[in-house]
Copies of this chain bind each other. A is one copy, B any other.
Amino acid sequence: MTTNESSYRDKKVMSIGIVKELTGLSERQIRYYEKRQLLFPDRTDTGIRKYSFSDVERLMDIADQIEEGVQTHEIRSELAKRDELQKTKDIRNKMLKGQLNAHFQKKY
Could you tell me which residues of chain A, from 3 to 18, have a CB within 8 Å of some CB in chain B? Answer: 5-6, 8-9, 11, 13-15, 17-18
From the candidates B5, B6, B9, B50, name the one contacting A18 in the complex (CB within 8 A).
Answer: B50
A22 at the interface (CB under 8 A from B): yes
Contacts of A15 in B (CB 8 A): 15
What are the residues of chain B within 8 A of A5 when measuring CB–CB?
Answer: 5-6, 9
Q: Which residues of B contact A53 (CB under 8 A)?
A: 8, 11
- By beta carbon, the residue of chain B nearest A11 is B53
Q: Are B18 and A22 in contact (CB under 8 A)?
A: no
Report Cα–Cα, A17/B13, bound state, in Å. Answer: 10
Top 9 nearest A-B pairs (CB, nearest first) are: A8-B8, A8-B53, A13-B18, A13-B14, A8-B9, A5-B9, A5-B6, A15-B15, A14-B14
